Amino acid sequence: MHVRSSGAVSRGPDAAGTAALLAKRDRTAATVSYDLNIEASNGLSTSDRTAIEFMIGCSDIVTMSECDLASLRRGERHGDAVRWLMARGPAIIALTDDRGGYVGYFRGGSFVHNRRAANVGATHSVGRALSVGLLYALDERGLLGAGAHEALRRIGRHEVHGVFSDADRYGALTSSPLGSPAPRYEIELGA
């Protein structure tokens, strides 16, 4: 299950239904991915913050920007904020920066990845492309869905590096210019 943005969790028409579904789900039956996009200019209300923190706690994979993290955990150092978030439930957090790179956090540590994606114009676009790539790369390795919960939590440095490298390539393909061949076609050909 993939949920995108804070609006779907706190203000959207399906917010209550999403929260209810996540509250009663069996964590081992499905993987939840959350692509957070806080509109910092609008501020973050207490109810939004609570809803976002609940969603992070229900998620296995979270993609967010440095700006999202700063809005959510105002005044905390990145390392402290990420540790706090990881303790809530995610197996993987991808933290994008405004230069098109990201830091991948997992239960065994973290690493910095300088993105090679083609011309992604905004931080939220980088996050979306990375989310698509992560889901595809994890699925290829059998790390999504029923029965993959514990394996995703035990993912090691070498394997997570491969996941993020593949995710970067797949994400770059999702950001290709209009009229480009379908990303799946390019991926299957090994482009």
pLDDT of the chain, 191 residues: tens digit per residue: 767 665 555 666 667 777 777 777 777 888 988 888 876 656 778 888 888 888 899 899 999 988 889 888 988 998 899 999 999 999 999 998 777 778 889 998 988 877 554 444 444 455 667 888 899 899 999 999 988 999 999 999 999 999 988 887 776 666 555 555 554 544 444 44
Instruction: Tell me the C-alpha distance between 3 and 56, whole Å.
Output: 11
Helix H or strand E segment including 23: helix 15-24
Domain boundary assignment for the chain: 2-188
Predicted model pTM: 0.81
CATH number of 2-188: 3.40.1190.20
